[in-house]
Amino acid sequence: MASKEWIVTTSGDRPMADVRKDLEDAGFSIGQVLEEVGSITGAAADETAKKLRSIKGVADVSENAPIDIGPPGSPETW
Amino acid sequence: MAKKEPTQPKGEIRVSSSVEDLLASALARGDESLETGRYIVTFKENAGDEALKSLGTHGLRVADTRDFTDQAITLEDAGDADLVVFPEVGAAVISGAALEQRSMSVLADGSDDSPIETIEPEYFAFADADAVGYLRGFRRAVETIAQDLRPGEEETEVDPAEDPLVIGATWGLIKCKVPPSVRSGVGIKVAMLDTGFDLGHPDFAGRPIVGQTFVGQPVQDLHGHGTHTCGTATGPKAPAGAIPRYGIAYRAPIFIGKVLNNSGGGTTATVLAGMNWAIANRCPVISMSLGAQTGVQAAYTAAGAAALNKGLLIIAAAGNSSGLPTGAPANSPTIMAVSSLDPTLVPSAFNSVGKIEIAAPGRDVFSSWPRPLKYKTISGTSMATPHVAGCAALWAESSIALRGLTLWKRLQATAKPLPFPASRVGRGLVQAP
């Protein structure tokens, strides 16, 4: 199954290093660990991502979504 | 601030001094009280003649307007008189020097037998309400002229951030009451998460700017959006040339997080990385003129909470989806959502609606743009957001207690209420301290 990018939001009740290890063990390919905001980015297939939600210390798993304010000179941005 | 040698000693202020001389003298004193250095003596009712006698005994040279045709005296006509008497209004103008030399304040001692009611400072009067600004402008002009008259001398150094001659301001800054604010955002780090910034823009020469990219492209802004939003939040007090003031926190250290590429694109991950960086750098104000038309994103809500917990405030644009709900990240409860106002202070038609905390000027906003254009006027909640961010920096400067949620509440409490639902304008138009 094709891999997608995900944002894992931690709940803050476990050290992020521990959550990261569990995510990796579950097959999540770690991108960035953003300590200050409590998020871990990475890639995984849909099936794997579903499983990540049950890991202790994970509050949310959402697909990394595009943001587009439009090209230069757009009459309307965001 | 550069100090000039006084061009006219205080003692030389005469009753006959011209307004220009008085201004020059006031400026040489560094006096922004708007006092001219002359005083107005008010006589008690029907005590004018007695007062004149009393003043005469102090050896003052008196010019009486009754000695001039139709009493049409201008003070410049008074020659070396110490005092000009206006019997019709029961008052006189006296020079400060004469007042001091003769200890005349004892005449207005309030005793029943004194013919003099009061002795008060005379003040400059200006047609323009911005009298202090006028004085500064006048000082700049005087210094320039003085410079021209003394070739060979080194140029007087005038710190533009300290003492600018401000040529008007954008409609947005005026509505937010930014020009009269004494705050500059000094010491308050402002993070702008956007398309980067034109790091060589002449209006920002010498400003402390920290840049970081999260999209694999240099921070240099080839889009324009980021340079525009940064200009509104942190642009200079007095741009070069005949450019009106368009920036609010003109002494704030600037943190540029490039989270959108030069095509205006990014992802939740690039934006979160920028937020993480801004929080790690403890920027009390984090401005985000970006978003996507999605529901509340847990990651943004957590990031907003992390910021508030550290005394930092994230401010985001609601979006230009014309009546659709506020987008993410502005729809997170921990992030302050901003809607746009037109110059008539009605909500802009393009606004997203729903979760709105505060409103700000967003229609036809003039601000900086990457060279060679340098300036551009554009519209959007993106343009409203940095107005709130800039004002937030001014408030944060005013008190160390105004951080995070406290700052959020203060911005709302001081906003100018508008006759529209909170779902369109929140608590109203943001105001500078």
Kind of pairing, strands B190-194 and B62-64?
A: unpaired
* Tokens read off for B239: 């741009």
Q: Which residues of B touch A7 (CB under 8 A)?
A: 268-269, 272, 297, 299
Structural domains of chain B sorted by starting position, each given as residue range(s) with its CATH number in brackets: 10-123 (no CATH), 171-425 (3.40.50.200)
ipTM attached to this prediction = 0.95
Q: Is B63 on the interface with A (CB under 8 A)?
A: no
How far is it, in rounded angstroms, from Cα B419 to Cα B421? 7
Q: Which residues of B touch A43 (CB under 8 A)?
A: none
Among A36, A64, A70, beta carbon nearest to B276: A36
Residue closest to B367 by CA, chosen among B179, B177, B172, B190:
B172
Among A37, A67, A73, beta carbon nearest to B265: A67
Test B306 with A36 for CB contact under 8 angstroms: yes
CA A41 to chain CA centroid, Å, is 4
Test A72 with B317 for CB contact under 8 angstroms: no
Test A7 with B289 for CB contact under 8 angstroms: no
Q: Say how many C-beta atoms besides its own lie within 10 A of residue A31's C-beta.
A: 17
Is-contact B256 B196, C-beta < 8 A? yes
Test B302 with A72 for CB contact under 8 angstroms: no
Structure confidence by residue, pLDDT tens digits, B317-376: 999 999 999 999 999 999 999 999 999 999 999 999 999 999 999 999 999 999 999 999
Side-chain-side CA neighbours of B295 within 13 Å: the count stands at 3
The alpha carbon dihedral of A72, A4, A60, A8 has a sign of negative
Q: Which residues of B touch A70 (CB under 8 A)?
A: 264
Whether the per-residue pLDDT at B117 is higher than 80: the answer is: no
Whether the per-residue pLDDT at B66 is higher than 80: the answer is: no
Q: Is B295 on the interface with A (CB under 8 A)?
A: no
Which residue in B194, B198, B203, B221 is the catalytic one?
A: B194
Q: What is the CATH number of domain A3-63?
A: 3.30.70.80
- Is B16 considered catalytic here? no
Long-range pairs, B402-410, Cβ under 8 A, ≥24 = B403/B284, B403/B311, B403/B312, B403/B313, B404/B284, B404/B307, B404/B308, B404/B309, B404/B310, B404/B311, B404/B312, B404/B313, B405/B308, B405/B313, B407/B284, B407/B285, B407/B313, B408/B308, B408/B313, B408/B336, B408/B357
Mean pLDDT throughout B173-183? 97
CA B318 to chain CA centroid, Å, is 26
Compute the mean pLDDT over every residue in chain B, rounded to the nearest whole number. Answer: 84
Kind of pairing, strands B265-267 and B285-288?
A: unpaired
Question: What is B101-148 written as a DSSP string?
Answer: HTTGGGGGS--TT-SEEEEEEEE---SSS-HHHHHHHHHHHHHHHHHH
How far is it, in rounded angstroms, from Cα B214 to Cα B265? 11
Residue closest to B358 by CA, chosen among B327, B324, B392:
B392
- Is B194 considered catalytic here? yes
Closest chain A residue to the Cα of B263, Cα to Cα: A71
How far is it, in rounded angstroms, from Cα B76 to Cα B139? 22
Q: Which residues of A touch B297 (CB under 8 A)?
A: 7, 62, 65
Structure confidence by residue, pLDDT tens digits, B226-279: 999 999 999 999 998 889 999 999 999 999 999 999 999 999 999 999 999 999
The pTM of the whole model exceeds 0.80:
no
Q: Is A5 on the interface with B (CB under 8 A)?
A: yes
Test A36 with B222 for CB contact under 8 angstroms: no
